[in-house]
Amino acid sequence: MDNNNNNKTEISENITKHITNPLNFGRMNDPDGSAVVKGQCGEEMEIYFIAENDSISKILFYSNGCGIILACGSVVTELANGRKIDEALKIVPLVW
């Protein structure tokens, strides 16, 4: 049980870091690919990337959403950066 609580604490601390200092935040001119998604609360997230040899070499996101949305954008761009495009498209949310 303690391991589970330690894992949740570690995850919470990591999320807080992404909320207060999101990675890969910004907009990109002339990306190779981009997408815009609109959430249930009306927030939007834009994702932009540059590809080299079928891999994502640079990725940015921009959002007008809350801190949790910023953390999601930060984490997903970190997960996708450097991956093959077809691998990045398979990234899905973790269900607890």
* Domain count along the chain: 1
* pLDDT tens profile 38-85: 988 899 999 999 999 999 999 999 999 999 999 999 999 999 999 999
Residue 93 domain-assigned (yes or no): no
Domain housing 70: 2-88
Termini Cα distance of the chain? 16
Rounded to an integer, what distance in angstroms lies between the CA atom of residue 65 and that of residue 61?
Answer: 11
Distances (CA, A) of 26 to 6, 8, 12, 29, 84: 32, 29, 24, 10, 22
pLDDT of residue 73: 95
Residue 94 domain-assigned (yes or no): no
Rounded to an integer, what distance in angstroms lies between the CA atom of residue 2 and that of residue 55?
Answer: 39
CATH number assigned to the domain comprising residue 56 = 3.90.1010.10
